[in-house]
């Protein structure tokens, strides 16, 4: 939100009603736990699924691939045709893909191009290194390299890095939250953070009231594998390194305005809601959207459902406000 013009901090969540298509999705989605020994197969399956659900580029959007720093792959999405003058530049959303820290890649054409199409901004999707081959802080360092590259080269590319937001889904949302924290501490302005059913707290992975397969799609068994791979140690330890686990940060004051969204059937519901409550308590503007009867990844798996469209529209509205798009 613009300085001195922030609306009152919301005190409750926006609730999106149960959608029949999401209810059907929850019933037919299996509860399968990711195991380290099956990671190669899981990556293969995830790659095939990503090609199927993320292979469409929205109309009027073009993409280009770049290398940030020495080795970080990024894909830049922007409007194909613009009426902007040569003096205008595009606000930027830096996007982090999901995959539990261990799977996925940055070529999320459908998701990223939707933001471009709706808002007329640029989206920069970052290909960070994956665990367990590259545990923390490798992924965060890659994101920092991308941010540094953007601040250096963005103007020449027609990008306005003074109007920059960060976002991501699942593990990508957790990385976006960590990046927003580090940017704040280093004095770099981030206008907003989009945290989509985000992986924020390693302590969820060792909750005894959750069975390993109590949730559809991404289970707490998978959650344990993701966190242990990323941290290189047992999740839920008494302390965590700075920026490794966003929810472990004690002081959230001064962070960028946030949009947090999650479904009621998602393993991350409690930690996402708790992070939203803590942001608000610290004086940070935070919009919390909860979707009834929605599993992890519902908006990708059932993109045409009414609740999924409303979920995306809420993110777009938030970005329009914080970026002035």
Minimum mean pLDDT among 79-88, 116-125, 127-136, 137-146: which range? 79-88
- Is it the case that residue 82 has pLDDT exceeding 80? no
The closest alpha carbon to 129, from 167, 178, 183, 73, belongs to 73
Mean pLDDT of the chain: 93
Q: Is the pLDDT of residue 153 over 60?
A: yes
The pLDDT of residue 86 is above 90: no
Amino acid 35: pLDDT: 86
Q: What number is the average pLDDT over the span 136-159?
A: 97
Q: Is 241's pLDDT higher than 80?
A: yes
* Mean pLDDT across 135-155: 97
pLDDT at 269: 96
Q: Is 47 helix (H, G, I), strand (E, B) or coil?
A: helix
**251 found inside a domain:** yes
Output the pLDDT for position 6: 46
Residue 225 domain-assigned (yes or no): yes
Band the pLDDT of 214: cuts 50, 70, 90.
confident
Contact in structure between 178 and 244 (CB atoms under 8 Å): yes
More confident residue, 34 or 102: 102
- Tokens (6 digits) for 46: 């995830």
In a domain, 1, yes or no: no
Asked whether the predicted pLDDT for residue 252 surpasses 60, the reply is yes
Query: Domain tally for the chain?
Result: 1
**Pairing label, strands 61-68, 72-79:** antiparallel
| Residues carrying an active site annotation | 170, 266, 296
Percentage of the chain lying above the pLDDT 90 cut: 83
| CA–CA gap between residue 276 and residue 49 (Å, rounded) | 30
* Residue that the structure tokens 């720093």 belong to: 69
pLDDT-derived band at 1 (thresholds 50, 70, 90) equals very low
Which residue matches tokens 């959750």?
A: 210
Residue among 180, 178, 195, 206 nearest 269 (CA): 195
Other beta carbons within 10 Å of 217: 21
At 9 the pLDDT is 55
CA-closest candidate to residue 97, choices 148, 46, 52: 46
Query: How confident is the model at residue 10, as a pLDDT?
Result: 61
Q: pLDDT tier at 4 (50, 70, 90 boundaries)? A: very low
Residue 212 is assigned to a structural domain of this protein: yes
Has residue 268 been placed in a domain? Answer: yes
Mean pLDDT, rounded, for 57-83: 92
The answer to whether residue 228 scores a pLDDT higher than 90 is: yes
Is the pLDDT reported for residue 2 higher than 50?
Answer: no
Q: Which two three-digit tokens encode residue 124? A: 């920069």
Residue 177 to residue 143: CA distance in whole angstroms: 12
The parent domain of residue 85 ranges over 14-323
> pLDDT band at 281, cuts 50/70/90?
very high
Q: Average the pLDDT over each of 85-94, 155-164, 258-267 and give the range with the smallest value.
A: 85-94
Average pLDDT, stretch 147-170?
Answer: 97
Structure tokens that stand for 75 in this block: 């894909």
Does residue 7 sit within a domain?
no
Q: Helices (H) and strands (E) in the chain — how many of each?
A: 9, 11
Is 73 among the domain residues?
yes
CA distance 1 to 48: 38
Instruction: Give the confidence band of 31 by pLDDT, cuts at 50, 70, 90.
Output: confident
- Above pLDDT 70, what percent of the chain? 95
Question: What's the CATH code of the domain at 303?
Answer: 3.40.50.1820
| 125 CB-contact burial (10 Å; exposed 0-12 / middle 13-18 / buried 19+) | buried
Tell me if 154 is assigned to some domain.
Answer: yes
Q: CA geometry: angle at 99 spanning 209 and 34, to 5°?
A: 50
């Amino acid at each position: 939100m613009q300085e001195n013009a922030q609306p009152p901090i919301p005190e409750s969540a926006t609730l999106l009603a149960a959608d029949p298509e999401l209810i059907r999705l929850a019933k037919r989605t299996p509860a399968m736990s990711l195991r380290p020994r099956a990671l190669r197969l899981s990556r293969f399956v995830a790659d095939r699924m990503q090609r199927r659900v993320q292979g469409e580029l929205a109309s009027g959007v073009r993409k280009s691939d770049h290398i940030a720093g020495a080795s970080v792959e990024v894909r830049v999405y922007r409007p194909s045709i613009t009426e902007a003058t040569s003096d205008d530049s595009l606000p930027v959303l830096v996007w982090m893909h999901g995959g539990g820290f261990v799977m996925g890649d940055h070529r999320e054409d459908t998701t990223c191009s939707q933001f471009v199409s709706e808002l007329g901004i640029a989206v920069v999707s970052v290909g960070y290194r994956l665990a367990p081959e590259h545990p923390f802080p490798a992924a965060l360092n890659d994101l920092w390299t991308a941010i540094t590259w953007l601040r250096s080269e963005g103007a020449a590319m027609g990008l306005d890095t003074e109007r920059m937001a960060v976002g991501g889904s699942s593990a990508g949302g957790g990385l976006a939250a960590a990046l927003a924290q580090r940017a704040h501490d280093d004095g770099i302005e981030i206008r907003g953070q989009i945290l989509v059913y985000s992986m924020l707290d390693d302590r969820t992975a060792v909750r005894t009231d959750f069975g390993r397969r109590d949730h559809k799609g991404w289970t707490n068994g998978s959650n344990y594998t993701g966190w242990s791979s990323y941290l290189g140690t047992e999740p839920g330890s008494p302390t965590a390194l700075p920026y490794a686990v966003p929810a472990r940060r004690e002081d959230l004051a001064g962070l960028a305005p946030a949009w947090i969204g999650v479904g009621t059937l998602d393993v991350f519901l409690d930690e996402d809601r708790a992070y939203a409550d803590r942001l608000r308590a610290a004086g940070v503007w935070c919009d919390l959207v909860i979707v009834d009867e929605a599993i992890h990844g519902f908006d990708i798996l059932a993109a045409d459902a009414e609740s999924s469209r409303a979920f995306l529209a809420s993110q777009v509205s938030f970005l329009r406000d914080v970026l002035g798009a």
